């Protein structure tokens, strides 16, 4: 009898998680999706569950009910403006480790969890899994890195296959409205000034559907350890903002330098994606322009009341 690949996706209703579900179904997974909030389930093939991973009894009951062979762990505390320093990060360290332990206890085989480029030492340059020091300067980055180290140790001891997707900068539909791309898009759609910093910072942006595809490809692969999830391209924020303005015919509304940039932020943050391309075998499916166009259309629907 063929082995069933049953995956549990945490944070499945979130910004990245919701885009992973279809990718997993296409790869033949039996998909179980977790959310801590009520979700409109629809008539699809995804089986939805509701539980709070910060409650030990709920985590154990969930794993016993689903009995997944694979785990894609995306859930975390991500409120803009708060998550960098919030003590909730420490609760998610505890909740994540409990989840991994329960998964291993019931015989799970493969884990991929979401990390962050903020685990690296913040200095200008290209960030490589084996070459850049890991010296996070925020509580968020420290918590993520702690989970990565502990997951790796658990995997060695329990015989799990585990990988860690270090995600760089993401944009796309369902992003929190207070983040850069949604702020620019919604301002221009309303024909209001888009007040931005100088825009000289260079960042590695990847469309959310490509991020989801990369994570699912990593899950389906045998690759273990940290893997950067990014485009591998350094894009000045001014250029990104300019491309959004071109799509929305709003160049005259963009005000670069109207707000201060972040204090002490590095000039350049870009991923070395050789492991992702050469070992995982993943390539992006969307151009930056396609991602911007789809994102702008989604926000247009939201502002018109036609979106869900």
Instruction: Give the pLDDT confidence of 80-125 residue by residue, as tens digits.
Output: 889 999 999 999 999 999 999 999 999 999 999 999 999 999 887 8
pLDDT on residue 40:
64
Q: Assess if residue 221 is contained within a domain.
A: yes
pLDDT at 203: 96
> What tokens were used for 50?
């509701």
Question: What domain count does the chain have?
Answer: 1
Mean pLDDT of the chain, nearest integer: 94
**CATH code for the domain in which residue 163 is found:** 3.40.50.720
Question: Is 276 contained in some domain?
Answer: yes
Residue 211, pLDDT score:
98
The owner of tokens 């910093």 is 197
The whole-model pTM stands at 0.95
Question: For 171, phi and psi rounded to 5 degrees?
Answer: -145, 160
Per-residue pLDDT tens digits for 37-62: 877 665 579 999 999 999 999 999 99
Cβ pair 235, 203 in contact under 8 A: yes
pLDDT at 189 exceeding the cut of 50: yes
Bridge partners, 228 (sequence order): 166
Q: Tell whether 96 is covered by a domain.
A: yes
261 belongs to a structural domain: no
Model confidence pLDDT, tens digit, residues 148-170: 999 999 999 999 999 999 999 99
**Domain range spanning residue 44?**
6-169+206-230+270-286
Residue 40 phi, psi (nearest 5): -75, 110
At 126, which helix (H) or strand (E)? strand 125-127
Residues 211, 112: Cα–Cα separation, whole Å: 13
Q: 157 in a domain, yes or no?
A: yes
Q: Tell whether 253 is covered by a domain.
A: no
Q: Note the pLDDT tens digit of each residue in 252-277.
A: 999 999 988 776 788 999 999 999 99
Asked if residue 62 belongs to a domain, the reply is yes
Q: Is residue 140 part of a domain?
A: yes
Helices (H), 81-138: 88-105
In this model, does residue 305 exceed pLDDT 90? Answer: no
């Amino acid at each position: 009898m063929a082995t069933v690949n049953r995956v549990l996706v945490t944070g499945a209703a979130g910004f990245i998680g919701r885009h992973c579900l279809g990718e997993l179904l296409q790869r033949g997974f039996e998909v179980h999706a977790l959310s801590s909030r009520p979700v409109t389930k629809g008539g699809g093939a995804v089986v939805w569950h509701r539980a709070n991973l910060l409650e030990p009894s709920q985590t154990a009951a969930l794993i016993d009910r689903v009995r997944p062979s694979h785990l894609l762990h995306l859930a975390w505390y991500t409120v803009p403006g708060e998550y960098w320093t919030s003590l909730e990060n420490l609760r998610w360290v505890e909740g994540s480790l409990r989840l991994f332990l329960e998964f291993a206890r019931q015989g799970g085989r493969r884990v991929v969890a979401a990390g962050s480029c903020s685990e690296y030492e913040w200095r200008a340059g290209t960030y490589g899994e084996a070459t850049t020091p890991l010296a996070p300067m925020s509580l968020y980055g420290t918590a993520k890195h702690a989970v990565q180290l502990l997951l790796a140790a658990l995997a060695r001891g329990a015989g799990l296959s585990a990988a860690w997707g270090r995600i760089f900068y993401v944009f796309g539909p369902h992003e929190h409205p207070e983040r850069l791309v949604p702020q620019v898009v919604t301002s221009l759609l309303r024909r209001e000034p888009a007040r931005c910093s100088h825009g000289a910072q260079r960042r590695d942006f990847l469309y959310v559907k490509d991020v989801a595809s990369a994570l699912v490809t990593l899950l389906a692969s045998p690759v273990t350890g940290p893997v950067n999830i990014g485009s591998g391209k350094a894009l000045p924020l001014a250029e990104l903002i300019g491309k959004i303005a071109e799509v929305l015919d709003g160049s005259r509304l963009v005000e670069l330098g109207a707000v201060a940039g972040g204090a002490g932020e590095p000039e350049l943050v870009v991923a070395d994606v050789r492991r992702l391309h050469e070992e995982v075998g993943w390539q992006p499916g969307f151009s930056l322009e396609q991602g911007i166009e789809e994102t702008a259309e989604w926000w247009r629907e939201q502002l018109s009341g036609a979106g869900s």
